[in-house]
Structure 1
């Protein structure tokens, strides 16, 4: 699959995730800042930025994003990076922890 097609497929999956407070897609709200694809290793990195630096829902949004993206056939691993949040490091560690 071409990178542009995969990026669109990822955006479509992320669009299914709604901000719990607004009920609007995280894509439409602009929370998805970047989608980086490593096709060779079937790995995706998604950067999310919450609407405010204290938003506690971003951890759930990040985890939902990881779960949805890892369901895609062309993705083996999704890493989610939360930025612009007062607990970004903790959230990133929790969401991306290897099991």
Structure 2
């Protein structure tokens, strides 16, 4: 079974490209949840509502989480960004398709 600690360790590999600091250390990852089938979801909040690197960081966070042994699927929800609806739709397209 996948643990929250496994996910946090994986997410520590993703750094803000401008700061060079892990998104975990910066406090940008919130509400990590793992269901009984090892589907993972979490929120990603950039420091700036106009952050131009948000898509890259969120996509990287999704990929490192998917790579954790046992993880079945990953849903990342960007919050606090002026384009969060569009970003979330792009980031989670495959989740919608898997659940059809």
Counterpart pick for 1:58 among 31, 54, 59: 54
TM-score using structure 1 length: 0.90
Q: How does 1:1-99 map to 2 (within 5 A)?
A: 1=1, 6-38=3-35, 40-98=36-94
- Any idea what the Cα deviations from partners look like across 1:18-74, whole Å, max 9, x if unmatched? 001100000000101220111x22211010100010001111011001111111122
Q: Within 1, Cα distance between the matches of 2:64 and 2:45?
A: 18
Q: Within 2, Cα distance between the matches of 1:84 and 1:20?
A: 19
Query: Unmatched 5+ residue regions in structure 2?
Result: none
TM-score using structure 2 length: 0.89
Q: Compute the RMSD of aligned alpha carbons.
A: 1.2
Query: Unmatched 5+ residue regions in structure 1?
Result: none
Q: Within 2, Cα distance between the matches of 1:67 and 1:28?
A: 18
1:92 deviates by 0.6
